[in-house]
Amino acid sequence: MASALRESRLLIVGLGLIGGSLAAALRQAGVGRHDHNDAGMGGPVESTEILACDPDPDEIARGIEMGLIDRGDTALEALVEGASLVVLAVPVLAMAGVMEQLAGCLGRAAPDVVVTDVGSTKAAIREAAVAAFGRMPANLVLGHPIAGSEKSGVAAADSELYRRHKVILTPEPDTDPAATARVRALWECCGAEVLEMAVERHDQVLARTSHLPHLLAFSLVDTLARQDERLEIFRYAAGGFRDFTRIAGSDPVMWRDIFIANRDAVLASLDDFEAGVARLRRAVERGDSDAMLATFDRASHARHYFESLLNQTSYQAEYQMQQHGKLRYRVSPGGGVTGRIRVPGDKSISHRAIMLGALAEGVTEVKGFLEGEDSLATLQAFREMGVAVEGPHQGRVTVHGVGMHGLKPPSGPLYVGNAGTAMRLFAGLLAGQAFDTELTGDVSLTKRPMGRVADPLREMG
């Protein structure tokens, strides 16, 4: 993989956890390493020089000692000469100052230099870039590795940090595609999977999935730590507390920066969260068992569902292996079958059973539901539209129907995985609702034609 990287001189600005881990991952992939005999990694990769700039000379010395960088300096101007790729890995609020310095000396870099960053928020960094360079330069590709830890400093550098993790790039319409390709190659060389999305979408998604959970963890630990009996409380804290609050040990300065830089998106996700907590509070206050069960059941299933998505288990993983030709099945005839067997439920009927149950008034009991990824996605979609669904437990599902006009707008796009049936049935079903919904699916589904459903719906208004 390292052979895709064709950089002569890589300059990392900010040699901390993220910058140091980048250097460590590149070294591990054979980049700029002169002391190995692996013929497969020859050529320009070996001749890549890795330099680092950091205000702390001890961090630079440590980086050299750890074999991560070839040389470094505390002054940016001293290192820019001939750099082909510059990675800004400083705290979010330090980006503006670093970009201003860079704008003053980037002329001394290689003629085709590309600049990227790793900051946890993107809109504020784009603003800083426009202020420093006068506009978004075509060779600046903003990015964010979705990997990290609660540690900081180069001593915590981890060559495996990015492996099988996602890196989001947020190129602008004017960004040079060649520059984006080079930043993509950098991260792929570290074993990461690279995605692209718009700056605004990145900040909204990260506010929900990363910034809000950190805010809650900081707040919970702080609230408990202020209480007098805190020693007792922490002594009895079990695994749940530990799991939930691990991220409260993260770097306070880094998180202060993130909440300042992504204020609006964080406040919007906090509003949604507060509304949810208020609903749950009312349910607890009133001893409303149905409301509590509905929320916990929805959350519990959503958690399991996302886990399987994240691990790319079952169908998707196998499908991808087959696509790459790594998996072959040889089927030989077996013996006869005696006794009773139960065949799995049918997928198309499983989707429809849930859809009809959700739109019906009253409770629908389903038996023989196929607990496959696609039908689970349909269940999850209805949960996101406010339908209480119990199960599935061994093929049994109970759907508490809300009637034809009882669905609620989901808070984001509905993901239906690989299910063409669900996508097409949902298109018709949701066209008749009083709210807008975005439907999305996996890579293969989004390539399939939807015109034969969308066109007639459009013609019907």
CB-CB contact of 110 with 83 (8 Å): yes
Residue 157 lies near ligand NAP (rule: CB under 6 A): no
Choice between 55 and 456, CB closer to ligand NAP: 55
Nearby residues of 194 by Cβ (< 8 Å), 6 or more positions away: 166, 167, 168, 169, 184, 187, 188
Cα atoms in the Cβ-side hemisphere of radius 13 Å centred on 368: 11
Residue 152 lies near ligand NAP (rule: CB under 6 A): yes
Nearby residues of 276 by Cβ (< 8 Å), 6 or more positions away: 295
Least distance from C-beta 210 to ligand NAP, angstroms?
9
Which residues in the 315-354 window bind ligand NAP by CB under 6 A? none
Q: How far apart are CA 124 and CA 93, in angstroms?
A: 9
- Kind and range of the H or E run holding 117: strand 114-117
Residue 17 lies near ligand NAP (rule: CB under 6 A): yes
CB-CB contact of 87 with 12 (8 Å): yes
Task: Please give the torsion angle defined by the CA atoms of residues 7, 11, 12 and 14, in that order, rounded to the nearest 10 degrees.
Answer: -170
Least distance from C-beta 255 to ligand NAP, angstroms?
9
Encoded one letter per residue, x for contact with ligand NAP by CB under 6 A and - for no contact, window 78-97 reads -----------xxxx-x--x
Angle made by CA atoms 215, 90, 265, in degrees to the nearest 5: 35
Residue 98 lies near ligand NAP (rule: CB under 6 A): yes
Encoded one letter per residue, x for contact with ligand NAP by CB under 6 A and - for no contact, window 29-68 reads ------------------------xxxx--x---------
Least distance from C-beta 105 to ligand NAP, angstroms?
13
In DSSP notation, 8-36 reads: SEEEEES-SHHHHHHHHHHHHTTTT--S-
Residue 168 lies near ligand NAP (rule: CB under 6 A): no
Residue 357 lies near ligand NAP (rule: CB under 6 A): no
Choice between 256 and 281, CB closer to ligand NAP: 256
Count residues binding ligand NAP (CB under 6 A): 29
Report the DSSP pairing between strands 166-169 and 193-196. parallel
Encoded one letter per residue, x for contact with ligand NAP by CB under 6 A and - for no contact, window 215-254 reads ---------------------------------------x
For binding to ligand NAP (CB under 6 A), which residues are involved? 13-19, 53-56, 59, 89-92, 94, 97-98, 118-120, 144-145, 148-149, 152-153, 254
